[in-house]
Structure 1
Amino acid sequence: MNETSEGGAQVTTGTVGEVADEAAIPELVIISGMSGAGRSTAAKCLEDLGWFVVDNLPPALIPTMVDLGARSQGNVARIAVVVDVRGRRFFDNLRESLADLATRSVRRRVLFLEASDDVLVRRFESVRRPHPLQGDGRVVDGIAAERDLLRELRGDADLVIDTSALNVHELRAKMDAQFAGDEEPELRATVMSFGYKYGLPVDADLVADCRFLPNPHWVPELRPFTGLHEEVAAFVFNQPGAKEFLDRYAELLHLIAAGYRREGKRYVTIAVGCTGGKHRSVAMSERLAARLAADGVETVVVHRDMGRE
């Protein structure tokens, strides 16, 4: 088998023998998302982690790629396939390929890379390259067309990563956190604090609002600190309704997590917001993450806007 360059996929062809043992079927990750959102970086990260990466593979050939991996005698145990609008004439075959894989109990995940329109425009302008779908129009026209084309795939993705505020090193860290381990947990959660004044996280599956609690920002001696400081956390959880909110939301997440496991959803991003993302949401995210971890969910805490002021 041959790895491909960005110009197109290369797949070794040949006679396929009998169906491989189910235990030999490789793990599969399909990488897709917006052009300019970091697909190449994500693919390179998986390659560095030992995955066999195929770029720009026509979706109709994904089952064939899995079959070839299954016949590699364990040499190709994990395959990552980049599918994007460069292969748009084949893109309609993706759903059929995913359905085919499901009938054969292939362990597969879909990773979707996302970014805001203004960030994507800046990235295309910085490299002075046209968007693959813009044709005779503008970059924004290509981005809009691509969002429309990928909307359904984004909704079905197992993991969505918004790279708008991430540099290359931060994206690689996220990829390492999700894919470096040999043993995958049943469910992984990212608990993200954020500030509403900076906008909602576009990759959030669930959003909780802590603005009903008094703001430590208006307490002079607490203003310089964050929700990571014990004084701030104590102030937040001594307010009426704070502990009750934590208890009830943790119970709700317990119910949701059980449903996600039944439906095969492996990743969830829980956003917890307050006005600036510095005090209340940070303290609540830390306690909520601890509850999830105690419930058997592997949890990562991200404070998106802390220190932004």
Structure 2
Amino acid sequence: MQLVIISGLSGAGKTVALKQYEDLGYYCIDNLPLALVANMTERTLHTMEKRYELLAVGIDARESPGEIALFPKYLDSLRERDVDIRVVFLNADEQVLLHRYSDTRRKHPLSDDKTSLLEAIRKEVKLLEPISNAADSIIDTSRLNLHELREKVLEQSHGGGAGKLSVQLMSFGFKHGAPAEADFVFDVRCLPNPHWEPTLRSMTGRDEAVAKWLEQHPQVQKMTSDIRSFLESWMPEYQKQDRAYLTIAIGCTGGKHRSVYLVEKLAKHFGKRFDHIIIKHRESWENQGLRDAEEKK
């Protein structure tokens, strides 16, 4: 039996994720009480009813706070029965959620006459912490369109990578926030910054002039070597698991020069070892009006 629990903030895309699992052949139930998840799983294990061998369950803020607080205990209980279980949590930025609710004019499940939409969103974040803290995968949908979200869900599902690990190398700027979906985050703000060179400021880490300037500094060479060595040691361990997707994020201040340069260098190195390397430059690509672009090597 394979059980997937899908949770997340209201408006972050949980319904889309459940639909994707339904398309993958899972029996999907939205808002099933947590207490019944264990009972349903127990029945399936005893009867081996094939209908529920692939089961995806949606859990969200409509569940009682007391039951949500007990989520880690429910999870431990299911895993003690050798249930193959995975928890996927969908997240999104506050402002993005506000904009989505404004567009759809839907009512937030926690908002009322005394609770504003913003207060409801913040209340929900706190309420769902027992689930988000226990999640095997967190998908930040703030910058994803419908197609990209479906692909993310597919990549994280069992067999979604067809037995191969897809590695996403992402550059970002800390001033815009670290990506919640990252498995590894490396901070390179300590390195010399091309931003302070007037001739390089308008360029990115993909430009030859910026690369040459960075490579003159021993700290950059050592940081590149250290990150590469760390990943060479630990990426094979992720390959051994039933893991379809691994996100490695490298951040500098603005996400335009140093992080972009390092992502390009690492992608070139690991492209020889992995069949599927995805490069995403979050900030610099958006600034150039290429928000939805990704390079695949």
**TM-score bucket (shorter structure):** 0.7 to 0.9
8 Å Cα contact 1:195/1:278 also seen in 2: yes
Change beyond 3 A, Cα 1:73–1:294: farther
CA distance in 2, matches of 1:271, 1:144: 26
1:39-78 equivalences under 5 Å are 39-70=14-45, 71=47, 74=50, 76-78=52-54
1:162-173 equivalences under 5 Å are 162-173=140-151
User: What is the aligned residue count?
Assistant: 283
CA distance in 1, matches of 2:236, 2:281: 25
CA distance in 1, matches of 2:31, 2:165: 29
> Gapped runs of 5+ residues in structure 2?
288-297
Match of residue 103 from structure 1: 80
Match of residue 100 from structure 2: 123
CA distance in 1, matches of 2:2, 2:271: 26
Residue 179 (structure 1) aligned to one of 141, 157, 171: 157
CA distance in 2, matches of 1:264, 1:181: 8
8 Å Cα contact 2:183/2:248 also seen in 1: yes
| Residue 81 (structure 1) aligned with residue 60 (structure 2) | no
CA distance in 1, matches of 2:156, 2:24: 11
Match of residue 36 from structure 1: 11
CA distance in 2, matches of 1:69, 1:235: 61
CA distance in 1, matches of 2:28, 2:35: 16
CA distance in 2, matches of 1:225, 1:46: 42
Amino-acid identity (%): 37
SS of the aligned residue for 2:64 comes to helix
Equivalent position amino acid for 2:77 in 1: D
1:228 Cα shift? 4.5
| Residue 213 (structure 1) aligned with residue 188 (structure 2) | no
Residue 248 (structure 2) aligned to one of 248, 270, 282: 270
1:36 Cα shift? 0.8
> Gapped runs of 5+ residues in structure 1?
1-25
Match of residue 5 from structure 1: none
Measured on the aligned residues, the alpha-carbon RMSD in Å equals 3.5
8 Å Cα contact 1:185/1:298 also seen in 2: no
| Residue 241 (structure 1) aligned with residue 219 (structure 2) | yes
1:203 Cα shift? 3.6
TM-score, scaled to structure 1: 0.75
Equivalent position amino acid for 1:215 in 2: P
Change beyond 3 A, Cα 1:74–1:243: farther
Match of residue 301 from structure 1: 279
Equivalent position amino acid for 1:164 in 2: S
